[in-house]
Amino acid sequence: MLNDKIILVTGGTGSFGQMFCTSVLQKYKPKKLIVLSRNEMKQYEMRQKFPDDTAKAKSPIRYLIGDIRDIERLRHAFTGVDIVIHAAALKHVPVCEYNPIEAVKTNVIGAINVVTAAIETGVEKVIALSTDKAASPINLYGASKLCSDKIITAAKSYAGARDIKFSVVRYGNVFGSNGSVVPYFIQKRATGVLPITDERMTRFWITLQQGVDFVLDCLARMEGREVFVPKIPSMKIVDLAKIIAPKCKFEFTGIRPGEKLHETMICEDDARITREFDDHFVIGWDGKSKSDYGKTCPAGYKYASDTNDWWLTEPELNGYIANYLQEHPELA
């Protein structure tokens, strides 16, 4: 699918981008794999793991400094590109709450720029990464990503006769990603006290590799205008804390501004235009097309972390944590 293709990843130096590059280089032989990001230090560090042609390595990796807020830079970067994976975003809830205009510039205006540049330069496929916080959003991050999702899924309307597909992949918290609760709990356990917002809190969980694999699957199956949602397990935050730091005292600090007690990936209103499959959902069924695959969701259905019928077990969590610490021995 990706052999001899030119692929570009926005925000490519992040956790997802690095795992995506690893998987693509293992499974395919792309003509080029372009990492676009605005942080030169992260690119320098990533280049040590994935050398490019500047190191005289026979590698398809290329690094471009650029910001999705800069439409001219995107037009230049997207020239000749076949597939764009749009992973760049401001994603930390408290940061977006405190800097709402900056979040809109990156998450909303940035999505508009990605769509515009992709159409103008002849890109074939665009998949944008979303979040469970975009479903019934209560914080600025979720609201900005919902706007982004709507922009991406409606983008074909601006493409005219151009043969280009736009889709969205939405999933939950990534286990052990940069800035997530797992490394935070591991670092805090040395203090003997673990801050937890609410003992009732639940979240969806997915590993980086599972997220990348799902994106690759969606690249193959996408028709355009859809939001793909994987079926993934839920986890109670307090249960995670008990496994990571069983000897710590828990300090319940209260839910932060813009934070939900439970997360939703498909709300009741979206469920009416959603098709369900064995391992995923597709939001965007219009009731007329695609009626020959999947099944409709029942009336009143919603896919939420607290009502999910799939929960991580203690042995599974122990395995995830052990693997994470093996990959990050400095935290062990």
CB neighbour class for 311 (10 Å; exposed up to 12, middle 13-18, buried from 19): middle
Q: What is the pLDDT of residues 41-91, one digit of tens each?
A: 999 999 999 998 765 668 899 999 999 999 999 999 999 999 999 999 999
CB 207 within 8 A of CB 263: no
**Among 125, 133, 165, 188, the one annotated catalytic:** 133
Q: What is the pLDDT of residues 176-224, one digit of tens each?
A: 777 788 888 998 988 999 999 999 999 999 999 999 999 999 999 999 9
pLDDT for position 324: 84
Instruction: Give residue 231's pLDDT band: very low, low, confident or very high (50, 70, 90).
Output: very high
231 is catalytic: no
Mean pLDDT of all residues in 269-280:
94
Overall CATH class of domain 6-331: alpha beta
Domain boundaries, the chain: 6-331
Residue 13: closest CA among 68, 69, 64: 64
Q: What is the pLDDT of residues 131-172, one digit of tens each?
A: 999 999 999 999 999 999 999 999 999 998 899 999 999 998
Q: What is the pTM of this model?
A: 0.93
Q: Both ends of the chain: CA-CA distance in Å?
A: 38
CB 174 within 8 A of CB 214: no
Instruction: Give residue 288's pLDDT band: very low, low, confident or very high (50, 70, 90).
Output: low
pLDDT for position 292: 58
Using the predicted structure, report yes or no on whether residue 11 has a pLDDT greater than 70: yes
- How many angstroms separate the CA atoms of 312 and 210, rounded? 15
